[in-house]
Amino acid sequence: MNKPLRRIAIFCGVLIMALLVRTNYLQYVRADELNARDENRRVRIDRYAHERGNIIVDGNPVTSSVKTTSGDFMYKRDWKDGPMWAPVTGYASQAFDASQLEKIEDGILTGNDDQLFFDRTLSMFTGEKKQGGNVVTTLNGAAQKAAFEGLGNKKGAVAAIDPQTGAILALASTPSYDPSSFAGNSDKDTAAWQKLLKDKDKPMLNRALRETYPPGSTFKVVTAAAALENGLYDDIDAKTESPLPWTLPQTSVPLKNEGNIPCENASLREALRWSCNTVFGKMSDDLGNEKMIEQTEKFGFNKEIFTPVRADASIYPKDNRPQNAMAGIGQASNRTTPLQMAMVASAIANDGKLMQPYMVAERQAPNLDVIYTHEKEQLGQPLSGENAQKVQQMMETVVNSGTGTNARIDGVTVGGKTGTAQHGLNNSEKPYAWFISYAKTDSGSPVAVAVVVEDGNANRDDISGGGLAAPIARNVMKAVIDNK
Positions marked active-site: 217
Question: What is the Cα–Cα distance from 342 to 337, expressed in whole angstroms?
Answer: 9
What DSSP character marks residue 124?
H
DSSP code per residue over 149-179: HHHTTSEEEEEEE-TTT-BEEEEEEES---G
User: Does residue 435 sit in helix, strand or coil?
Assistant: strand
Q: How far is CA 24 from CA 33, 40, 59, 216, in A?
A: 14, 19, 43, 58
Nearest to 371 by CA among 66, 92, 105, 128: 105
Q: Is residue 484 within 8 Å of 169, Cβ to Cβ?
A: no
- Helix ranges (H only) for 128-267 are 141-151, 187-198, 207-210, 220-229
Q: What angle do CA 472, 56, 84 make, to 5 degrees?
A: 35
Tell me which long-range contacts 22-31 makes (C-beta under 8 A, separation of at least 24): none
Q: What angle do CA 428, 326, 353 make, to 5 degrees?
A: 120
Question: What is the Cα–Cα distance from 417 to 435, expressed in whole angstroms?
Answer: 6
Q: What angle do CA 294, 435, 356 make, to 5 degrees?
A: 50
Q: Is residue 357 within 8 Å of 138, Cβ to Cβ?
A: no
Question: What is the Cα–Cα distance from 419 to 403, expressed in whole angstroms?
Answer: 9
Q: Is residue 75 within 8 Å of 66, Cβ to Cβ?
A: yes
Burial of residue 96 (number of CB atoms within 10 Å: 0-12, 13-18, 19+):
middle
